[in-house]
């Protein structure tokens, strides 16, 4: 069996990349012993509070607007199962199994913090489910993101009690069947445990983590595409001058400019500003009032302004990562048990407004990235803009062959769709639960929307990469910079100049997988290193 690194839950912070790695099976999990000690203390304190006949929401009361209905001690375990089966009311396509495993891992990480009052046996079952790859079946629609992801996490919880369906070894089956195959035993929940499982933000956080993983690659590839554009069009160097960005030092702008410049460092394609003056003057040997040069004095915005356009994209992405990782490592159910302070606190840590804002902002950022990509693709294809490249990048007889003409519609239509998806969900609060939940976050809908938008963005950026490679087949590939050359050589091994002899879709599928399902663009710094 291949060795998998282990993530220690609630020993170290759970990063968004860890969530992705756990979901796809690249990492396994274990629980920190000190954290388990806190869990035992939390459970003991809760047990003592129940013996003292204290009224505790969701333990010996009903839920939501029925919280004034006090439950007899003999029924408080039945209450937990009833909560799960009644709230497992989602519909729609299932959340992808690897995201569902990420959700399960996030929820376990929250419970292991030791402020939820659950038993160790529940935590151990969840740990085993994750490590064995038993992914709960969770329909995508249902959460308002305020009392947590109640519907989503109810479906997650069904599998823990041996009900509902799961994915195991890429097969959909009943939870009972999967448990039988793996030797696990479903759990009869004790008081507080159903509520602790359901009342939190794990679903929106899990979906968001996978959205962020895709967004990070999109930003890296957007920088590669910008460097390729500079090389293809002989862009003017001063748009990436360090002094230019030092006088408008947005962190994202400085970082993006530096990355792109490092990628094309050593190039023979870039136009130096200092060489332009005499070249232009040499075009006019007559003393006339005005003459027109065919040499660019400035590049178009989609090349020249790339650092400024992608600056807020990077900053938004960095902020979203920080927000999601805080949420993934938080205690976000209700009530919260602080055993060391002898407190049981009723509050609203389950509210997902922070995630909702972060995902809405991410949608705006990635939609902006798409605008940039689509416009550069258009410049490559339009014979009036592409500075001498063949129209539509046609290789072959123009008119009989059509090159990238049809493929452009993919980028244009998907960019338009993403602009629509960039509309915010976080402002769309609708009261529900007999107006007990009177302000809700819609965080899970925002995260789902971001995941879809980022998936769309991959189409757009993939097409631009193909257009770059096609353009480089006509010119400038022999003088590429150090980083752009390394990337070009890797991609060109898989690239075939499009000449209408194949179905374009096949190239898109191949390169989308190459770009986003490999580690080629996880870290661009490997391409900066000198040979």
The set of catalytic residues is 57
Please report which residue ranges of 163-305 form alpha helices under DSSP H. 175-182, 193-198, 202-233, 242-246, 251-264, 273-281, 301-304
- Helix then strand then coil, % of the chain, to nearest 5: 55, 10, 35
3-state secondary structure of 271: strand
> 529, 263 in Cβ contact below 8 A?
no
Buried b (16+ CB within 10 A) or exposed e, 112-147: bbbbbbbbeebbebbbbbbbbbbbbbbbbebbbbbb
Structure tokens at 32: 């920190």
- 517: Cα separation from own chain's centroid: 14
Kindly write down the DSSP assignment for every residue of 484-506, as one continuous string: HHHHHHHHHTT-----SSS-HHH
| Cα atoms in the Cβ-side hemisphere of radius 13 Å centred on 205 | 38
Q: Of the candidates 93, 180, 104, 91, which has an alpha carbon nearest to the alpha carbon of residue 135?
A: 104
Structure tokens at 250: 């947005």
Return d(Cα 166, Cα 136) in angstroms, integer: 4
Please report which residue ranges of 59-160 form alpha helices under DSSP H. 76-87, 97-111, 120-132, 150-160
Beta strand 139-141 pairing with 135-136: unpaired
Cβ partners under 8 Å of residue 423, min gap 6 = none
């Amino acid at each position: 069996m291949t060795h998998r690194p282990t993530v220690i839950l609630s020993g170290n912070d759970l990063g968004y990349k860890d969530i992705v790695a756990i979901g796809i099976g690249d990492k396994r999990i274990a629980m920190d012993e000190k954290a388990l000690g806190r869990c035992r203390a939390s459970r003991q304190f809760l047990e003592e509070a129940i013996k003292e006949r204290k009224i505790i929401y969701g333990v010996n009361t009903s839920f939501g607007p029925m919280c004034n209905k006090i439950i007899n001690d003999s029924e408080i375990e039945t209450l937990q199962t009833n909560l799960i089966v009644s709230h497992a009311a989602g519909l729609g396509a299932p959340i992808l199994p690897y995201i569902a495993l990420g959700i399960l891992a996030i929820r376990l990480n929250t419970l292991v913090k030791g402020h939820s009052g659950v038993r160790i046996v529940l935590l151990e079952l969840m740990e085993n489910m994750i490590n064995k790859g038993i992914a709960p079946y969770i329909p995508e629609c249902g959460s308002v993101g305020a009392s947590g992801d109640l519907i989503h996490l109810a479906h997650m919880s069904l599998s823990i009690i041996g009900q509902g369906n799961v994915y195991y070894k890429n097969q959909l089956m009943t939870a009972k069947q999967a448990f039988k195959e793996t030797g696990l035993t479903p759990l009869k929940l004790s008081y507080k445990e159903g509520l602790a499982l359901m009342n939190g933000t794990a679903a929106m956080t899990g979906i968001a983590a996978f959205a962020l993983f895709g967004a990070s690659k999109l930003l890296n590839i957007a920088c590669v595409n910008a460097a390729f554009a500079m090389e293809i069009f002989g862009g003017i160097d001063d748009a990436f001058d360090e002094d230019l960005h030092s006088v408008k030092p947005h962190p994202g702008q400085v970082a993006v400019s530096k990355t792109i410049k490092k990628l094309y460092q050593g190039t023979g394609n870039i136009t130096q500003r200092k060489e332009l003056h005499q070249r232009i003057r040499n075009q006019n040997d007559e003393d006339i009032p005005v003459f027109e040069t065919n040499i660019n004095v400035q590049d178009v915005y989609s090349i020249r302004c790339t650092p400024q356009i992608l600056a807020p994209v990077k900053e938004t992405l960095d902020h979203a990562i920080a927000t999601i990782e805080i949420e993934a490592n938080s205690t976000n159910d209700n009530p919260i048990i602080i055993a060391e302070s002898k407190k049981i606190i009723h509050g609203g840590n389950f509210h997902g407004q922070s995630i909702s804002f972060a995902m809405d902002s991410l949608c705006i950022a990635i939609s902006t990235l798409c605008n940039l990509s689509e416009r550069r693709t258009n410049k490559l294809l339009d014979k009036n803009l592409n500075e001498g490249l063949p129209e539509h990048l046609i290789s072959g007889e123009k008119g009989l062959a059509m090159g990238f003409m049809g493929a452009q519609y993919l980028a244009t239509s998907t960019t338009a769709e993403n602009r629509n998806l960039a509309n915010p969900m976080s402002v769309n609060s609708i009261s529900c639960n007999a107006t007990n939940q009177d302000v809700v976050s819609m965080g899970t809908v925002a995260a789902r929307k971001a995941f879809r938008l980022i998936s769309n963005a991959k189409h757009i950026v993939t097409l631009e990469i193909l257009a770059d490679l096609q353009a480089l087949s006509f010119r400038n590939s022999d003088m590429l910079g150090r980083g752009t050359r390394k990337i070009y050589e890797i991609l060109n091994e898989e690239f075939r100049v499009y000449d209408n002899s194949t179905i374009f879709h096949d190239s898109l599928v191949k390169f989308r997988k190459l770009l986003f399902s490999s580690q080629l663009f996880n870290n661009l710094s490997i391409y900066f290193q000198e040979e």
